[in-house]
Amino acid sequence: MKYPSLLFTEKASGRTVSRQTFEDLKLTQLLSDNAAEAMCVLCRREDIPVRQELFRSLLSSSALKKAFAELAAKAEDISRLFAALKAAECVNERNYIFVSLYAAASEFSRAASEVKGAGTLLERFASFFKSVTEATRGNAERAAELRGRIREINDTVFIAEGDRLRIKAERSDGLCARLIGAARELGIAEPKMPVKCRMRPEARIINAAAALRPEDFASFADFYDRCSEEYDEAMLSYGYELNFYIEAAALFEKAEKAGLPLAWPEVSEEKIINVKGLRDITLIAKNESVIVPNDVSFSGEEPFFFLTGANGGGKTTYLRALGTAVLFFLSGCPVTADSAEIWPFGCVFTHFPRDERFEGDGRFADERRRADEIMEAQKGNSLVLLNETFSTTNEQLGAECIDELSEKLYGSGSFALYITHQQCGMQSRLPCLAVVVDGEDGNRRTYRIRRALNTEGSYAADILRRYGLDRESLEKRFPRGRGRAQS
């Protein structure tokens, strides 16, 4: 049985994004490991708008969100039972667990068949499980009946003693039962019974229960023999897929509540990135009240930008906003922007400084190794984000390495953004972006990023203005006429 995916119309693209990229972009602060793992597996170009359809339905329908949450809970129950089935130590235990597993899978199928929402993935999902529910109706009813017997066995045959289970010795007409019955007739409240234990019985306890209830366990065995071929563990993937949608939808709802706009990017026919009013969604993890928008524009003619400016001006935020937007786009999600048109890149790579202590060749060698790995993997169709790469070595060597790496990237076909404070020859040949400061307000950081004619107009000018050493300040302090008279 081939279960239809909720992530792909046919199959994944075969391309994956490194977990390190998610950590560098701080997406691990917003998504669980499972959700991030789902995003790491990129979909094909044609699946991007198909996933967008599903997300639109999910974000606009509280009924669909509730249905997904219920399905995810059922999928978790299936996963737990399947793990128990794989660990079964005897035939009686296997048959006993399989009944509950089949019943849980049948409940999932029924609930999935009733899901309502627009889009290819949802419609295919619901249609598939309608046919499954109809085809297995008789076995599902039998599984529900047998699971009722299992619950009766759990309630009447097993008893908990601390963290262990044993077979109850007390018969229903025993002394304790008669005393409780007499008290009830006299109007005395029954004593509170301990909470029923749902721990897994040991194999020997299961076998003992089978000896006490041979007819029930014979029915369990017969059901396993007839239906075991019907269950396919591929159903386990739905827990992973559903939780990705649930988490991502919750994240974007949180972003909207924080005042961020949501845009559904168009899949561009040409290699460009054109985003208006992009916000860094990761800042909501810091409860930022004001998140400054910026525009992003890359093209085949300008695939590479240096980004310079004083620390704390918003450079890393800009880079992170770009990286997360492209990753969300490649996952069929909306992006926190006013509008967007993005080329479906093959992958996203990041190169951030690492804080670990390195043995052997040291940090610089590690930076070179990682840069070389990115160059080999980017395949001329990726987004590469470099944050202070080669900043830990001396100025001359760093400039040489930056020149070498940026020249390779510029001619590779991939797009790249390179944050750096170091001066290199390529900065005079390639376009630069710079942090904008408000000179009228004490060089206040605006967190705006704008095109710069050259790197001199970025952080260097910012520092000069700050200390009154820029040309305008100097002319005010030393008027030309007075200077000539003094000379």
Give the DSSP per-residue string, 66-97. Answer: HHHHHHHHHHHHHHHHHHHHHT--SHHHHHHH
Q: Which of 2-6, 93-97, 201-205 shows the lowest mean pLDDT across its residues?
A: 201-205
pLDDT, residue 158, reads: 55
The length of the chain in residues reads 487
For residue 176, give the 3-state DSSP assignment. Answer: helix
Task: Give which of 407, 415, 410, 463 is closest to 435, Cα–Cα.
Answer: 463
The CATH superfamily holding the domain 251-482 is P-loop containing nucleotide triphosphate hydrolases (3.40.50.300)
What integer is the mean pLDDT of 30-50? 93
Q: Is the pLDDT of residue 293 over 60?
A: yes
Report the predicted TM-score, pTM, of the whole model to 2 decimal places: 0.82
CA angle 104, 106, 110 (to 5 degrees): 120
d(Cα 329, Cα 340) in Å, to the nearest integer? 9
pLDDT, residue 101, reads: 95
What integer is the mean pLDDT of 297-320? 93
Question: Model confidence at 154, in pLDDT bands (50, 70, 90)?
Answer: confident
What would the pLDDT profile of 168-195 be if each residue is shown by its tens digit?
Answer: 544 455 555 666 677 777 777 665 544 4
pLDDT, residue 439, reads: 65
pLDDT, residue 296, reads: 97
For residue 354, give the 3-state DSSP assignment. Answer: coil
Domain ranges of the chain: 62-116+137-229, 251-482
Q: Is the pLDDT of residue 53 over 90?
A: yes
Question: Model confidence at 147, in pLDDT bands (50, 70, 90)?
Answer: very high
Q: Is the pLDDT of residue 456 over 50?
A: no
d(Cα 81, Cα 101) in Å, to the nearest integer? 6
**DSSP letter (8 states) at residue 191:** P
Q: Is the pLDDT of residue 295 over 60?
A: yes
Q: Which of 139-143, 286-290, 456-460 shows the lowest mean pLDDT across its residues?
A: 456-460
Task: Give which of 277, 247, 295, 341 is closest to 27, Cα–Cα.
Answer: 247
Question: Model confidence at 421, in pLDDT bands (50, 70, 90)?
Answer: confident
pLDDT, residue 196, reads: 43
d(Cα 383, Cα 369) in Å, to the nearest integer? 19
Tokens of 407: 């020249």
Task: Give which of 84, 139, 67, 148 is closest to 106, Cα–Cα.
Answer: 139
Please list the residues that pair with 438 across neighbouring strands: 444
pLDDT, residue 187, reads: 72
Q: Is the pLDDT of residue 116 over 80?
A: yes
Q: Is the pLDDT higher at 381 or at 200?
A: 381
pLDDT, residue 414, reads: 97
φ, ψ for residue 250, nearest 5 deg: -65, -40
Convert 370-394 into a string of H (helix), E (strand) and C (coil): HHHHHHHHCCCCEEEEEECCCCCCC
Q: Is the pLDDT of residue 441 over 90?
A: no
Q: What is the residue-averaged pLDDT of the chain? A: 86
Q: Is the pLDDT of residue 165 over 50?
A: no
Question: Model confidence at 483, in pLDDT bands (50, 70, 90)?
Answer: very low
Q: Is the pLDDT of residue 453 over 70?
A: no
pLDDT, residue 259, reads: 94
Q: Which of 239-243, 288-292, 324-328 shows the lowest mean pLDDT across its residues?
A: 288-292
Q: Is the pLDDT higher at 376 or at 187?
A: 376
Strand arrangement, sheet containing 304-308: 347-351, 382-387, 415-419, 304-308, 432-438, 444-452
Tokens of 365: 């060698």
pLDDT, residue 463, reads: 53
Please list the residues that pair with 266 across neighbouring strands: 341
What would the pLDDT profile of 207-265 be if each residue is shown by its tens digit?
Answer: 888 888 899 999 999 999 999 988 888 889 999 999 999 999 999 999 999 999 999 99
Q: Which of 86-100, 253-267, 426-440 shows the lowest mean pLDDT across its residues?
A: 426-440
User: For residue 10, how far is the Cα from the chain centroid?
Assistant: 21
d(Cα 51, Cα 328) in Å, to the nearest integer? 11
Task: Give which of 294, 393, 281 is closest to 338, Cα–Cα.
Answer: 294
What integer is the mean pLDDT of 88-93? 93
What integer is the mean pLDDT of 9-25? 92
Please list the residues that pair with 250 across neighbouring strands: none
Portion of the chain with pLDDT greater than 90, in percent: 62
Question: Model confidence at 160, in pLDDT bands (50, 70, 90)?
Answer: very low
d(Cα 318, Cα 298) in Å, to the nearest integer? 14
Highest mean pLDDT among 171-185, 241-255, 302-316, 451-465: 241-255
HSE, CB side, 13 Å, CA atoms: give it for residue 95. Answer: 21
Question: Model confidence at 452, in pLDDT bands (50, 70, 90)?
Answer: confident
Q: Is the pLDDT of residue 142 over 70?
A: yes
